[in-house]
Structure 1
Amino acid sequence: MANLKSTLCALAVCSLGATAVQAADVEVLHYWTSGGEAKAAGELKKMLEGKGDHWKDFAVAGGAGENAMTALKTRVVSGNPPAAAQLKGPAIQEWGDQGVLVSIDDVAKKDGWDKVLPPVVANVMKYKGQYVAAPVNVHRVNWLWINADALKKVNAKAPTTWDEFFKTADALQKAGIQPVAIGGQSWQEAELLETVALGVGGADFYKKAFVKLDQSALKGPTMIKVLETYRKVKSYTDKANAGRDWNLATAMVINGKAAMQFMGDWAKGEFSVAGKRAGVDYLCVAAPGSAGAYTFNVDSFAFFKLKDKDAAKGQRDLAGLLMSPEFQETFNLYKGSIPARQGMDLSKFDECGKKSAEDFKAAAAKGTLVPSWAHDMAISPAVEGAIYDVAGQFWNDDTMTPQVAAEKIAAAALTK
């Protein structure tokens, strides 16, 4: 009998051990902390834990992720990286060069990622031909969000050109309505500059200036016009914007304290959380002059080499989930973006989501699909940071001329 008991105990221990191997701690570094974003992250946590893994939340506040990237560097340098971290664009390649990313190509091949991802997205997720990151969405950056009631009050339509935009802004200002909401943070100022550049110069100029970093384009007459327009937009913002988070600027539009906001489609998540309806309470339109183009920003998670070999199971579970049709639908409905995975049923998406998906395909076909330099998709972090600085200086110093600012941006593009 004693031997039988010992055998049963041993079997129980083995069984527990097997269960322990199946469950994994998966520490995920992200910067989704606003209403719609936090809801989306919560959904991912629920799905991962449904697979028997344990989500360890490593959320670092800060809309554009600068704080999160600082935290990631500290952890990687100390030899203790998270299992996955929210990374984008060239930063994925830079971490790959450091030898700290792990391949998830086995998951990608099993689930056929190459067949369901547009090449422009898939290529960003690979390092030396192998997937090291999984995309969760495609954001459109060049949106203008408008409070529908504010437009009605001044009997105006959504502006499609810069002339129409400034005419509408004048009418709003006369009616005592703040025309434009913005937060005085470097990434918001840079994003606005990017959107103005696309609307004023078009996709070809944008690619030459902010993807190829062509010196003549950055110093030329089109760039001067971009900067003049950028400064004019500033004259319709409030003076109390310093340090304001993007979602608080969105709240100003939601609550009717301001009429319009230039912001990527993560703003839509805030409208959704507030119970507002697209096409009724608010309008989503391409920023002036940019209707035929599409600035994309892809959120993705890169996977890091870990000392704990058991964690690999959790990483692969997470990678598979991130690209699953179920998660891509649920997540993007919360986040305001559209699925990175192509060929999905978008019937649950509102008119903004459907319009974004249509415009993405059309821009890809026309060659007017461009990566967002302000959101880490086009240029190195060093160059991006240097241009951020100039955009902020020009925004905050009315004595700096557009010509001087253009020269400074051109010099910033040479940063190593």
Structure 2
Amino acid sequence: MKVRAKSCCVAIRLAVIACIALGSSASAAQELEVMHWLTSGGESASLSVVRQAYRDQGGVWRDAPVPGGSAARAAAVNRILGGNPPPVFLFSLGAQLRELSAHGLVVPAPGAGAEWDRVLPPLLSRSAQQQGRYMAAPLNIHGENWMFYNTALLRQAGLEVPRTWEAFITAAATLKAMGKTPIALGGQPWQERLLFNAVLLGVGGRDFYRRVYEALDETALSSPTMLAVFRTFASLRPFVDEGSPGRRWNQATAMLMRGDAAFQFMGDWAKGDIRAAGMEPGVQIGCALAPAPDPAYIMVVDAFAFTQPRDAATAEAQKRFVAVMMDPAVQAGLNQAKGSIPVRTDVPDDGFDICAKQAMTLIRAPETNLASTGMGLSGGMAGAVDDAISHFWNDPRLSPQEGQALLRKSILAFR
């Protein structure tokens, strides 16, 4: 009943915002095309919070979904280069968006200012700016280094939630002996990279993670610690089922929910699908940050970018869109539906699940904030990192030493 009451409070707050703004904005309504990839159950529910709030304020929303983040980003870029740019499109903070901004293909987020500097986590604020101006409006903060687990399976096996990678490997062996798949993994390079980076953080710690992906430190890449990372990563291969190659992330999450698998290392967007299936994150499907020596949150941020408005009405519609999306009540509602956490650190954690509450507390400490490789590395380097990790994971003939050398070569080639 508490969760339902809190959800009602969010809905009431949104309705009050809508009523205040409706009278003044309806006459200036302008159709606004919004391109995005938010098409799965939890994703669609989160976007509907923004869409409804925008419509309640008199805006006319034209939905332009493109399933799949990579396909949607490519579609947006193609339209921009083809002379038919979408006025609003979802992207990810990172090198490709910086390139679009540097070439003047996107305009600064309308309405961004000093308040954003105050309420956004410093790492997010820096990543969202180009030459001191916000190149996009951040939608949400996702954490990549979550370990989700089926609580009933662990209870059946008599296992505690592992807090170290050594304990995890012991637990995985027990589960495999029971005939259960220990790790639900989608065999796509980006999913394999999430698992690798969880191991990297867990073996090396957050300062080592920064040395590798921020400083691009050759000494760290060549170190015994990195070799230990690859040895641990390789030791996880036997705990993934043969159906992994090509599997989508939400299919792996479904394995977890059915009880076919015990663990999934995945971003917190998985919680949106868990909720859509009628389960509660932190209850039937437990959540913990992947084992690591010190607390850290590997952040990936979805953001809406804007192209040059064709007229004053479109410019006003873009500005209204940003104001709606950044409103604290809308931020609360959309992120509760998606499984992510608000970009604003001043949003109360009322109504959020236990996993999100933990994340919202954690990101308020800047030293815990880490950038995902897609957010922190250049596009070419991020792709090379994914390729190196995937190559190693999918070729058991490669030794940990060869995997380490492959990653080192891939990073240094773009440094």
TM-score, normalised to structure 2's length? 0.89
Aligned counterpart for 2:276 among listed residues 273, 276, 286: 273
Conservation of the 8 A alpha-carbon contact between 1:142 and 1:290: no
- Amino acid of the structure 2 residue aligned with 1:132: M
Q: Helix, strand or coil: the match of 1:285?
A: strand
**Which is worse superposed, 27-36 or 390-399?**
27-36
Tell me which of 72, 80, 99 is aligned to 1:68.
72
Choose from 138, 142, 153 the match for 1:139: 142
User: Larger Cα Rg: Structure 1 or Structure 2?
Assistant: 1
Aligned counterpart, 2:112: 108
Q: Which residue of 392, 395, 398 corresponds with 2:393? A: 395
Deviation at 1:173, TM superposition (A): 0.8
CA distance in 2: counterparts of 1:19 and 1:213, whole angstroms: 49
Contact 1:92/1:125 (8 A) holds in 2: no
The aligned residue for residue 355 of structure 2 is 352
Q: CA deviation at 1:55?
A: 2.1
Superposition CA RMSD, Å = 1.9
TM-aligned CA deviation for residue 21 of structure 1: 7.6
Shift in Å, 1:290: 5.1
Matched letter for residue 38 of structure 1: S
| Residue of structure 2 equivalent to 1:314 | 317
Deviations 1:265-310 (A, max 9, x none): 1111111111212333121111012551221112211111233443
Which 10-residue stretch deviates more, 67-76 or 189-198? Answer: 67-76
2:164 & 2:127 partners in 1: Cα distance? 32
Contact 1:386 1:415 in 2 (8 A): no
2:56 to 44, 50, 55: 50
Contact 2:381 2:410 in 1 (8 A): yes
Instruction: Supply the distance in 2 between the matched residues of 1:262 and 1:96 (Cα, whole angstroms).
Output: 33
Offset of 1:108 from its aligned partner?
2.1
Corresponding position of 2:299: 296
Aligned ranges 1:317-336 → 2 under 5 Å: 317-336=320-339
What SS is found at the alignment partner of 1:295?
strand
- Aligned partner of residue 302 in structure 1, secondary structure: strand
Residue of structure 2 in register with 1:369 after alignment:
369
Q: Identity over the aligned pairs, expressed in percent?
A: 37
SS at match of 2:61: strand
What residue in structure 1 maps to residue 8 of structure 2? none
- Structure 2 residue aligned with 1:202, among 202, 205, 218? 205
Partner SS, residue 363 of structure 2: helix
Residues 26, 57 of structure 2: 8 Å contact kept: no
Q: What is the distance in 2 between the residues matched to 1:389 and 1:190?
A: 9
Taking the TM superposition and a 5 Å limit, the aligned residue runs for 1:63-212 are 65-87=69-91, 88-105=93-110, 107-109=111-113, 112-212=115-215
Q: Work out the CA distance in 2 between the residues paired with 1:161 and 1:297.
A: 24
Question: How many residue pairs are counted as aligned between the two chains?
Answer: 390
Tell me the distance in 2 between the aligned counterparts of 1:315 and 1:19. Answer: 13
Aligned amino acid, residue 281 of structure 2:
A
Aligned residue number for residue 341 of structure 1? 344
Structure 1, residues 103-154: CA drift from partner, whole Å, max 9, x if none?
235x123x82222222222222222112231112221211100000000111
Cα deviation digits, residues 351-407 of structure 1 (max 9, x gap): 111111122224x2xx2321111xx21101111011111111111111122222222
The one-letter code matched in structure 2 to 1:325 is P
User: Unaligned stretches of 5+ in structure 2?
Assistant: 1-23
Deviation at 1:260, TM superposition (A): 0.5
Query: In terms of mean alpha carbon deviation, does 222-231 or 237-246 score higher?
Result: 222-231
Flag the 1:415–1:33 CA change in 2: closer, same or farther, 3 A: farther
Looking at structure 1, the residues matched to 25 and 304 of structure 2 have their Cα atoms a distance apart, in angstroms, of 26
Secondary structure at the aligned position of 1:377 is classed as: helix
Runs of 5+ unmatched residues, structure 1: 1-17
- The residue number in structure 1 matching 2:40 is 34
Letter of the structure 2 residue corresponding to residue 151 of structure 1: L
Instruction: Give the alignment's TM-score, normalised by structure 1.
Output: 0.89
Name the SS of the counterpart of 1:112 in structure 2.
Answer: helix
Deviation track 1:154-185 (CA, whole Å, cap 9, x = no partner) reads 10110000111011101111111111101111
| Greater mean alpha carbon deviation, residues 212-221 or residues 235-244 | 212-221
**Native 8 Å contact 2:94 2:127 kept in 1:** yes
Shift in CA distance, 185/99, structure 1 to aligned 2, threshold 3 Å: same
8 Å contact kept, 2:25–2:59: no
1 CA distance for matches of 2:391 and 2:413? 17
Determine helix, strand or coil for the equivalent of 1:137: strand
With 264-273 and 126-135 compared, the bigger mean Cα shift is at: 126-135
Change (3 A) 1:335 1:160: same
Q: Distance in 2 between matches of 1:20 and 1:344?
A: 28
8 Å Cα contact 1:338/1:356 also seen in 2: yes
Question: Retained in 1: the 8 A contact 2:123–2:369?
Answer: no
Is 1:410 equivalent to 2:408 in the alignment?
Answer: yes
Say which SS state the counterpart of residue 114 (structure 1) adopts. Answer: helix
